[in-house]
Amino acid sequence: MARLFGTPPGVRVGDLFGSRQELHHAGVHRPLQAGISGTRAEGADSIVVSGGYEDDEDHGDYIVYTGHGGRNADSRRQSSDQSTDAPGNAGLITSMVKGLPVRVVRGSHRNAPYSPPAGYQYAGLFAVAGTWVEEGIGGFKVVRFRLERLPDQQLLITSIPSQIDPAFLTTTVSRRVRDSAVARLVKSMYGDRCQICRSSITGYGNRKYSEGAHVRPLGRPHVGDDALDNLLCLCPNHHTQLDIGGMVIQDDFTVAHTRNLEVFASLRFDRDHSVRVSNVRYQRELWIPPERTEDDIAATPALEPPAA
C-alpha cells in the first residue's frame, strides 16, 4: 500500500483511538509497535509520542522528539547510541529534506498535559523543522527532531494551552526561511550574493533573491540569536545544505562536506560582518560530535541538498 502523507480520509484532528490496532486500521499510524512509520527512501508519514523515551519534550504546538533505537527492552532506558541510519530516523530526515508532513499521535501517559486521558489521540500534521545528534539523559547519543504543528488545522483542545516558541512569533515561514530586519541587512551587505558560491538569483525586473541563514538554529533547544554574528547570506541550495547537515563550517570559516570533511569553499566576509566561532562550532557539532572518529565520518552516507 502506498504511503500516505497527510490526514487519512474520514479522520479529524482530536479523534480518539483505543488501541494501536485502531490506529492501524484507520491509516493514522500503521506500525503496531514502532513509534515511527517510515523509511529513508520514502520519508516518515507518522509518529507516536507516548513517553517511551526519557528525552522527549512535548510543548503542544512543537515537540522535541527522540528517534528510535538503543533502548533496553527490559528497563526501557537508553543502553546504546542511536543512529541516523535507523529506518525511522532516516525517514524523518527525508521528510525534513522533502518538506513532507508527519501525522502526530499522542498516547496516554503520566505527567503529560497534552496527551489524552486514555488510548491515543490524533494531534494533526507537523513539519520536521530540524534534526541533530546529542548526548541524551542516559549518557548515550540520541537523534533528536524538532516538529512544529502546521497552520490552518482544526484547533486541538488540551488540558493546558499549547506553548508558543517566542523565536517564531513574527516569522514568515517557507521551509523556515526567516525575513527579519537583521536578515535583510546581511543580504543587503552582500548584494544578495551567496557567501559560499558567490552566485545570485535574479527574478523578474532584475530582482535579486538570497536567504538569511542562521548558523546556530533559532528556537528551542538551540536558541540561536537572530543577530548579525549568527547569520550568513546564502543561496537557497547552500542554505538548505547547511540546515540538513550536508555541510559544516570549520573554525577557520572554510566549508566542508559533512560526510568526509573535505573542504570545498571558504566563506567570504564583508569588512563589517563576522560570525562568532561559538555559533560555527555549535552547528558543526550538531552533525559531527567532537569525539567522532575518522572511521565514523567515512561510514556516514551523504545528505544531498534538493536539486535546484
Residues of the chain with CATH 2.30.280.10: 16-163
Residue ranges of the chain with pLDDT lower than 50? 166-177, 292-294, 297, 300-308
The predicted structure's pLDDT at residue 299: 54
Kindly report each contact of residues 78-81 with a partner whose C-beta sits within 8 Å and lies 24 or more positions away, as own/partner.
78/53, 78/54, 78/136, 78/137, 78/138, 78/139, 78/140, 78/142, 79/138, 79/140, 80/140, 81/140, 81/141, 81/142
* pTM attached to this predicted model: 0.65
Enter the CATH code of domain 16-163.
2.30.280.10
The predicted structure's pLDDT at residue 308: 35
Q: What cell was used for 15?
A: 479523534
- In 3D, which of 134, 120, 135, 165 has the Cα closest to residue 28? 120
Q: Are 241 and 251 in contact (CB under 8 A)?
A: no
The predicted structure's pLDDT at residue 298: 55
Per-residue pLDDT of 130-152, as tens digits, reads: 899 888 888 888 999 999 999 88
The predicted structure's pLDDT at residue 173: 37
Amino acid at 168: F
The predicted structure's pLDDT at residue 156: 81
The predicted structure's pLDDT at residue 99: 80
The predicted structure's pLDDT at residue 307: 39
Q: Are 88 and 78 in contact (CB under 8 A)?
A: no
The predicted structure's pLDDT at residue 179: 57
Cis peptide upstream of residue 221 (ω within 30 degrees of 0) = yes
